[in-house]
């Protein structure tokens, strides 16, 4: 169980990475700001993908937890880039910020993200 808890922490770590990236790019004006933000998100997404790949090899008994956490990371990344693209600028999402501050469980986080925040 302790290993699964540690695996699930990767999603909160990724969320913290996103908060840092959003903080860095919010309020920045320029025609390439969104493109640079998306590239940085992709770098982080790939870094985590490699972590999950290594975990699947080293922790074969926890593949379900690894896959669930990987899906959460993908959902967070997709949601942040999509929202920034649709708004035309990078800004914090109040739902994501609230969930991070309150440290909700990963299952609840995933449900809220997939539900568009309607929970």
DSSP 8-state assignment for residue 60: G
Average pLDDT (4-26) is 91
How many CA atoms lie within 13 Å of 52's alpha carbon, on the beta-carbon side? Answer: 23
The pLDDT tens digits of the residues spanning 64-92 come to 999 999 999 999 999 999 999 999 999 88
Of the CA atoms within 13 Å of residue 30, those in its CB half-sphere come to 9
Mean pLDDT value across the chain: 86
Q: Which pLDDT does position 13 carry in this prediction?
A: 92
pLDDT tens by residue, 21-67: 999 999 888 889 999 999 999 999 999 999 999 999 999 999 999 99
What whole-number distance in Å separates Cα of residue 34 and Cα of residue 25? 8
Closest to 91 in 3D by CA, of 16, 2, 7, 21:
21
Q: How confident is the model at residue 109 (pLDDT cuts 50, 70, 90)?
A: low
Span 87-111, average pLDDT: 69
- In this prediction, residue 99 carries a pLDDT of 61
Break the chain into its structural domains and give their ranges. Answer: 2-114
Contact between residue 90 and residue 25 where contact means Cβ atoms under 8 Å apart: yes
Higher pLDDT, 117 or 11: 11
């Amino acid at each position: 169980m302790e290993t699964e808890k540690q695996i699930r922490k990767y999603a909160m770590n990724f969320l913290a990475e996103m908060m840092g990236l959003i903080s860095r790019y919010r309020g920045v004006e320029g025609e390439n700001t969104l493109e640079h933000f998306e590239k940085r998100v992709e770098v982080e997404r790939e870094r985590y993908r490699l972590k999950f790949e290594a975990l699947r090899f080293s922790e074969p008994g926890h593949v379900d937890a690894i896959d669930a956490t990987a899906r959460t990371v993908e959902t967070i990344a997709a949601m942040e880039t999509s929202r920034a693209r649709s708004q035309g600028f990078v800004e914090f999402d109040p739902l994501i910020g609230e969930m991070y501050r309150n440290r909700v469980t990963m299952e609840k986080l995933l449900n809220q993200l997939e539900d568009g925040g309607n929970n």
